Amino acid sequence: MIFLFIIVPLVLAALMPLLGKISKRFLPDLLANATMLFLLVFSVISAKPLIANGGVIQQAFWFGAPINIRLLLDGFSLFMLFTISLVSFAVTLYSIDYMEQYGAKANYYALLLLMIAGMNGLVLTSDLFNIYLFLEVAAVASYALVAFGQGHDELEASFKYLMLSAVASAFILLSIAIIFGLTGGLGFGAVASGLKTLNIKYVVGFCSGLFLMGFGLKTALVPFHTWLPDAHPSAPAPISAMLSGVLIKVSGVYAMMRIFLNVFGLTPALTTVLTVLGMASIFVGALAALGQKDIKRMLAYSSISQVGYVILGLGIGTPLGIIGGLFHLFNHALFKSLLFLNAGAVEQSTGTRSLDQMGGLAKRMPLTAATSAIGSLSIAGVPPLNGFWSKLLIIIALVQAKMHVLAFLAVLGSVITLWYYLVLQHNAFFGKLNDTWKSVKEAPFWMSAATVMLALLCIIIGLVFPMIIHSWLQPAADVLSSGVAVTLNFIGF
């Protein structure tokens, strides 16, 4: 059952280029969207009841013989699956109209589906090596997608991204090798129980450092963030949304937190390092975003800043902090993909990404302007939108953990966020309509449909957030806050 999450997108990714020979647009659009819708519905309707009594493990069989692939579905992974599916659905919906300009839709969908298969695999796997494996699957697809436009900047950004990611992957692999050497196992349960019997805290600390650098680079934590401001703006808008919305969280935050909290166990040292890195990301990202003239680059820096909040919340390690961090992860997936999609709509209509050249677009693109305003207010933490509640939870968790200085800084970071999003809104959408854009048109139907859906979700989730927390976040946070204990049950594997 759980295998469908990986197999369906993988098989379709393989079929897609062949289908492209038959139908250039219609079939790829239809199948990609159907797949995403299926995954979304599947994660809500079928997978949710499966984990009613805690995590489940499924063993892969090859012609009747068990092979060494086991998938683990628990609250945390299901939460991530749901987030991935939701954003991917919005993105494929948007791509129907947006990707017309690029051509080669079938190849595009193939790469997108491959990336989704990689991410789904990453969140479902139950051993360290498969984490590395799926990480690379998703990453390779994303290198290709960043370079999809094949212009100079795209290729340079993609290459830089590839070269830095390769370093990260190498260190991740090194760390996995050290752990395998020490414990003799790769499964989460085996590693956790192995480390428990050994007294090697410095080696574990070293490995933590390697993981932190490797996954931190995938997450774009400061100072490993340098690839992101180049790579995310260069990709086509839906891919920017995908990368900033979910990829950095799955391949970075998810992997890091799964290993640190459920396998290694969170130590005070790690908490300190994580919160400091989170705070550094918040400020470097926010202040760098403030100076950007390129709308997508500003959003990319903003992603660094917002992921800082996620890491900050999760790094505290208290149940409330974890809920806050996960909630912010989910919210950020929604509003950052919304904002990137809007930026794509603006770029498609005007042909520019420079905030200086825009102005007054609200008159010509009212839907885009409105949804963008909702996204901006939400990410800046204006009540009652969803971003407000998640930031509030993180700040409350910081206060409860007696980290008052960090709580203050988190609020300050939020103020800077509001600052540059007001700059964005003002320069792009408000004010006098620039004469150049007299004939600009609103985005096509499917693009608007995707952004309106995400904007509505931002509002609705802001209004009914206790329900979301109860049904989706609490099970995920329970897994993380129960720490190593939950993993030790899987020793048999």
Partner 1 sequence: MNPQNLSIPILVPFLLALISFLLPSRIKWLRETVAVLGAAIIVYIAITFFGQKETFYTLPWLGHGIDFELRLYQFSQFILLALSGFVFLITLYSTVKMAGHSRVREYYGYIFLTAALAAGATLANNFVPLIFFWEGLLITLYALINLGGKNAHRTAVKSFIIGGFCDFCMILGIAILWSQTGTLRMSDISVLPQGLLAVSFFLMMIGAIGKAGAMPFHTWIPDAAIDAPVSVMALIPGALEKLLGIYLLVRITLDFYKLEINSPFCITLMIIGAATIVLAVFMALIQKDLKKLLSYHAVSQVGYMILGIGTAVPIGIIGGIFHMINNAIYKSGLFLAAGSVEHQTGTTELKKLGGLYRAMPFTALGFLICAAAISGIWPLNGFVSKEMIFHGSYETGYTIFTIAAWLGAILTFASFLKAGHAVFFGPRNPETPQVRENKSPIYVPILILAAICVVFGIYNWIPLKFFLEPILSGHLPAGETLNFSSHALALFNPIAMISMGCLLLGLGLHIYGFKRGGNKAYLVSEPIHHLPVLNTLYNWAEARVFDLYEQGIKFLQALSSFLFKFVDRPIDFFYERIVVSVGRACTGILKAAHNGYYANYLAWTIGGLVLIVWAIGALLR
Which residues here bind partner 1, judged by CB under 8 A? 160, 163-164, 167-168, 171, 201-202, 205-206, 208-210, 212-213, 216-217, 223-224, 226-227, 229-230, 267-270, 272-273, 277, 284, 287-288, 290-291, 416, 419
Instruction: At 156, list the tokens.
Output: 């340079």
Distances (CA, A) of 249 to 286, 307, 394: 18, 8, 17
Nearer to partner 1, 287 or 459 (CB): 287
Nearer to partner 1, 289 or 385 (CB): 289
Nearer to partner 1, 285 or 344 (CB): 285
In the complex, minimum distance from the CB of residue 207 to partner 1, in angstroms, rounded to a whole number: 10
In the complex, minimum distance from the CB of residue 107 to partner 1, in angstroms, rounded to a whole number: 27
Nearer to partner 1, 298 or 410 (CB): 298
Burial class (CB in 10 A: 0-12, 13-18, 19+), 268: exposed
Nearer to partner 1, 261 or 345 (CB): 261
Nearer to partner 1, 113 or 255 (CB): 255
Q: Rounded CA gap, 231 and 268, in Å?
A: 34
- Provide CB contacts within 8 A for 214, sequence distance 6+: 168, 169, 171, 172, 175
In the complex, minimum distance from the CB of residue 292 to partner 1, in angstroms, rounded to a whole number: 8
Q: Rounded CA gap, 79 and 489, in Å?
A: 21
Query: What's the number of CA atoms in the CB half-sphere (13 Å) around residue 162?
Result: 15
Nearer to partner 1, 201 or 404 (CB): 201
Distances (CA, A) of 480 to 208, 251, 318: 17, 17, 10
Nearer to partner 1, 203 or 382 (CB): 203
Nearer to partner 1, 224 or 437 (CB): 224
In the complex, minimum distance from the CB of residue 115 to partner 1, in angstroms, rounded to a whole number: 23
Nearer to partner 1, 77 or 275 (CB): 275
Nearer to partner 1, 79 or 171 (CB): 171
Contact 338, 409 (CB under 8 A): no
In the complex, minimum distance from the CB of residue 268 to partner 1, in angstroms, rounded to a whole number: 7
In the complex, minimum distance from the CB of residue 481 to partner 1, in angstroms, rounded to a whole number: 22
In the complex, minimum distance from the CB of residue 201 to partner 1, in angstroms, rounded to a whole number: 6
Nearer to partner 1, 215 or 330 (CB): 215
In the complex, minimum distance from the CB of residue 388 to partner 1, in angstroms, rounded to a whole number: 23
Distances (CA, A) of 466 to 326, 397, 469: 14, 16, 5
In the complex, minimum distance from the CB of residue 23 to partner 1, in angstroms, rounded to a whole number: 40
Nearest to 341 by CA among 220, 453, 228, 461: 453
Q: Rounded CA gap, 467 and 188, in Å?
A: 31
In the complex, minimum distance from the CB of residue 303 to partner 1, in angstroms, rounded to a whole number: 14
Q: Residues 19-26: contacts with CB within 8 Å, 24+ apart?
A: 19/106, 20/104, 20/105, 20/106, 20/107, 21/106, 24/105, 24/106, 25/100, 25/105
Contact 32, 89 (CB under 8 A): no
In the complex, minimum distance from the CB of residue 289 to partner 1, in angstroms, rounded to a whole number: 8
In the complex, minimum distance from the CB of residue 229 to partner 1, in angstroms, rounded to a whole number: 6
In the complex, minimum distance from the CB of residue 195 to partner 1, in angstroms, rounded to a whole number: 14
Nearer to partner 1, 9 or 216 (CB): 216
